[in-house]
């Protein structure tokens, strides 16, 4: 009996050590008040996104929940208004798998919202489920959709500066290896899905890095954030039904609650003094080094150019021209008779390395080692 009690005690002690050192997230203690500021959180109807939006609403921000499902999005907005006491929580429809939906969201937002101080790309998928598309659905939802949305909203971010963009990534980026010859190929089977998910998370980290370079001096900073191991819908969404009852108790014991998962994205959105770390990757509310593939500036720029084509952005369609068109008539949506460029095929996307821009002539703005380390949460 004594040996049994000793064993149970050791197990409990080990669990407590693991939980408080690896699982439990440090709380974010960023800006206390966000009154007069506007934030957009994608995928905010549940999980990490909903908890992120709740904390922003509690601080007084006007929060736009950008979600695919109108029913779930409006229900989440109602819940957050009730829980936060902030009536400025609204739903706007956004389906990141559809470039037309991304453009429609941007048009509606720019015509109705005078500010954008915080843009948090939280929405994501880990599997294609039963959906079959002629493109890489994981890359579309996790990277290309957010890339296009950021591009379209940049004019408002710049006029609201200082402002921030947070891209929720994952430690899975360490397993990512981008193959630019098949970047947008359809994903079939669970093995390809695992690879495509890791690749999309690597794309998130490289996107934040290149975006920081593109935006230096504008007052807009950006960060990649790893929420940690989180017990959210993303974890169980594609698990077979018979397996879920077995995994739920384990997930409850070993994974963070969504509120804990929201802490690092919130830190990146709110913490003062981390502007010199724009473009870096954060985990557990502190900057973390990434593997060579995630700090490859040439690959980051090549991904940027490929993403522009995958997003249907023409060579003359940049943030400045978007800003000019909005200033001319901010209330008029784009005409349905003037469609955006057709989505390109994979064979059109990838210039050879010999023909790509020579990045050695571009000044790198993101050091591998930053002199400034952020404060602990």
Mean pLDDT over the full length of the chain: 80
pLDDT higher at 45 or 356 = 45
Instruction: For the beta carbon of residue 338, count every other beta carbon within 10 angstroms.
Output: 6
Distance CA 28, CA 248 (A): 27
Q: Are 318 and 201 in contact (CB under 8 A)?
A: no
| pTM of the entire predicted model | 0.78
Q: Are 14 and 94 in contact (CB under 8 A)?
A: no
- H-run or E-run covering 17: helix 2-18
Q: What is the dihedral of CA 367, 371, 372, 373, to 10 degrees?
A: 90
pLDDT at position 300 is 97
Task: Write the CA distances from 229 to 30, 192, 377, integer angstroms.
Answer: 22, 22, 18
Letter string b/e over residues 300-333, b meaning 16 or more CB atoms within 10 A of that residue's CB:
bbbbbbbbbbbbbbeeebebeebbeebeeeeeee
Residue 19 annotated to the active site = no
Task: Write the CA distances from 195 to 136, 169, 172, 174, 350, integer angstroms.
Answer: 11, 15, 9, 11, 20
pLDDT at position 314 is 76
* Residue of 285, 44, 267, 282 lying closest to 173 (CA atoms): 282
Q: What is the mean pLDDT of residues 299-312?
A: 96
Any residues with CB less than 8 A from the CB of 172 and at least 6 apart, and which?
Answer: 197, 198, 201
Q: What is the dihedral of CA 91, 94, 96, 98, to 10 degrees?
A: 170
Distance CA 9, CA 4 (A): 9
Catalytic residue, chosen from 15, 19, 20, 197, is 197
Q: Give the Cα-Cα-Cα angle 371, 280, 283 (nearest 5 degrees).
A: 100
Q: Are 306 and 335 in contact (CB under 8 A)?
A: no
- H-run or E-run covering 303: helix 297-310
CA count, 13 A, side-chain hemisphere, 210: 24
Q: What is the mean pLDDT of residues 212-234?
A: 86
Q: What is the mean pLDDT of residues 60-81?
A: 97
Q: Are 176 and 203 in contact (CB under 8 A)?
A: yes
pLDDT at position 149 is 98
Three-class secondary structure of residue 212 per DSSP: helix
Q: What is the mean pLDDT of residues 77-104?
A: 97
pLDDT at position 249 is 58
Any residues with CB less than 8 A from the CB of 195 and at least 6 apart, and which?
Answer: 175, 177
Instruction: For the beta carbon of residue 246, count every other beta carbon within 10 angstroms.
Output: 10
Q: What does the pLDDT look like over 253-295, one tens digit per residue?
A: 556 688 889 999 999 999 999 999 999 999 999 999 999 999 9
Distance CA 39, CA 163 (A): 10
Task: For 101-169, give the DSSP string.
Answer: HHHHHHHHHHHH-S---EEEE----S--TT---SS-HHHIIIIIHHHHHHHHHHHHHHHT-SEEEEEE-
Q: Are 205 and 281 in contact (CB under 8 A)?
A: yes
CA count, 13 A, side-chain hemisphere, 352: 2
Can you say whether the dihedral through the CA atoms of 144, 149, 152, 155 is positive or negative?
Answer: negative
pLDDT > 90: what percent of the chain? 59
pLDDT at position 218 is 97
| Cα of 368 vs its chain's centroid, Å | 22
């Amino acid at each position: 009996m004594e040996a049994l009690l000793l064993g149970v005690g050791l197990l409990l002690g080990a669990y407590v050590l693991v939980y408080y050192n690896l699982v439990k997230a440090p709380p974010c203690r960023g800006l206390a008040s966000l009154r007069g500021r506007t934030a957009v959180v994608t995928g905010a109807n549940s999980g990490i996104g909903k908890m992120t939006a709740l904390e922003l609403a509690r601080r007084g921000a006007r929060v736009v929940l950008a979600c695919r499902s109108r029913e779930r999005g409006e229900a989440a907005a109602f819940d957050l208004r009730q829980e936060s006491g902030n009536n400025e929580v609204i739903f706007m429809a956004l389906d990141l798998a559809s470039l037309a939906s991304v453009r429609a969201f941007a048009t509606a937002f720019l015509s109705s919202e005078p500010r954008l101080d915080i843009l948090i790309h939280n929405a994501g998928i880990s599997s294609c489920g039963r959906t079959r598309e002629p493109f890489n659905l994981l890359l579309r939802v996790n990277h290309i959709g957010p890339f296009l949305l950021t591009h379209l909203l940049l004019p408002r971010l710049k006029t609201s500066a200082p402002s921030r963009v947070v891209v929720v990534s994952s430690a899975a980026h360490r397993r990512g290896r981008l193959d630019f010859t098949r970047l947008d190929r359809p994903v079939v089977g669970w093995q390809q899905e695992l690879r495509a998910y890791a690749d999309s998370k690597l794309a998130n980290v490289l996107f934040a890095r290149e975006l920081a370079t593109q935006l230096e001096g504008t007052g807009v900073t950006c960060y990649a954030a790893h929420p940690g191991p989180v017990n959210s819908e993303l974890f169980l969404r594609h698990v077979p039904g018979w397996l879920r009852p077995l995994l739920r108790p384990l997930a409850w014991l070993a994974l963070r609650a969504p509120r804990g998962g929201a802490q690092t994205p919130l830190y990146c959105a709110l913490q003062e003094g981390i502007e010199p770390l724009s473009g870096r990757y954060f985990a557990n509310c502190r900057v973390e080094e990434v593997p060579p593939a995630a700090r490859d500036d040439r690959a980051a720029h090549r991904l940027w150019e490929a993403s522009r084509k995958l997003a249907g952005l023409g060579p003359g369609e940049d943030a400045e021209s978007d800003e000019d068109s909005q200033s001319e008539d901010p209330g008029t949506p784009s005409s349905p008779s003037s469609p955006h460029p057709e989505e390109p095929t994979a064979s059109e996307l990838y210039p050879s390395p010999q023909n790509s821009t020579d990045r050695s002539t571009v000044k790198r703005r993101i050091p591998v080692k930053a002199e400034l380390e952020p404060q602990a949460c």
